[in-house]
Amino acid sequence: MLIKNIRHVGVVTLDIKKSVNFYKNILGLKIFEKSTHNHVSLGKIMKLKNVCINIVRLKSKVNNITIELLDWKNPKSKSINKKNIYSQGLTHIALTVNDLQKVYEKLINNKIEVLSDPVFGSNKRTKYMFCKSPENVFIELVQDLKKNNNNFYN
């Protein structure tokens, strides 16, 4: 197999402070790098001039799942039309949590848009729900209910 792992998930944000708050203070990821890049190489690859990006990288404590928040200064980050969970292309990020009810309550208390209460997956070995991040990305939050569950799907 050519692919070894998923390196990170990149999310473009229009409000980096709001996004950092969501991923750090609500979902519990830890910041491990903040930087500004004047990306000559990325500009070359994407055929852009004077690329400048503020980047905040966060990861989970346990298995180093990495989210890379990108605040484009040049060219400026742009909003897109509202995306649906069934839209073509990348639709969501799925994250495993220990206590879905606790996460759900924290999301509600912080006025984060949730799509439903937590529900059982079809296999009854998971509970899951969706919320939307400040960047309008669908986040699937999943709690495994049985130990040694290697099933990645609901």
CATH number at residue 32: 3.10.180.10
Report the pLDDT value the prediction gives residue 147, as an integer from 0 to 100: 60
Burial 83-100 (b: 16+ CB within 10 A, else e): beeeeeeeeeeebbbeeb
Q: Is residue 85 part of a domain?
A: no
| 65 and 97 co-located in one domain | no
Question: Is 12 exposed, middle or buried, given 0-12, 13-18 or 19+ CB atoms closer than 10 A?
Answer: middle
Q: Is residue 81 part of a domain?
A: no
Report the pLDDT value the prediction gives residue 22, as an integer from 0 to 100: 97
Q: Is residue 35 part of a domain?
A: yes
Of the residues 48, 74, 100, the one at which a domain ends: 74
- Structural domain span for residue 57: 9-74
Task: Return the bridge partners of 66, or none.
Answer: 59
| 102 and 56 co-located in one domain | no
- Total domain count for the chain? 2
Q: Is residue 1 part of a domain?
A: no
Report the pLDDT value the prediction gives residue 88, as an integer from 0 to 100: 67
Residue 123 to residues 106, 111, 143: CA-CA distances in angstroms? 26, 30, 13
- Residues near 148 by Cβ (< 8 Å), separated by ≥ 6? none
Report the pLDDT value the prediction gives residue 71, as an integer from 0 to 100: 92
Q: Is residue 104 part of a domain?
A: yes
Report the pLDDT value the prediction gives residue 24, as an integer from 0 to 100: 96
| 68 and 104 co-located in one domain | no
Q: How far apart, in whole angstroms, are the C-alpha atoms of residue 124 and residue 13?
A: 35
Q: Is residue 149 part of a domain?
A: no
| 43 and 13 co-located in one domain | yes
Q: Which residue type is seen at 124? A: K
| 111 and 61 co-located in one domain | no
Q: Is residue 86 part of a domain?
A: no
Report the pLDDT value the prediction gives residue 148, as an integer from 0 to 100: 47
For residues 116 and 140, the answer to whether their CB atoms sit within 8 Å is no
Of the residues 28, 46, 74, the one at which a domain ends: 74
Report the pLDDT value the prediction gives residue 133, as an integer from 0 to 100: 94
Q: How far apart, in whole angstroms, are the C-alpha atoms of residue 21 and residue 134?
A: 9
Of the residues 25, 47, 74, the one at which a domain ends: 74
Query: For each successive 10 residues of the chain (154 residues), what is the average pLDDT?
Result: 80 94 96 88 82 93 89 84 70 91 96 94 90 92 75 53
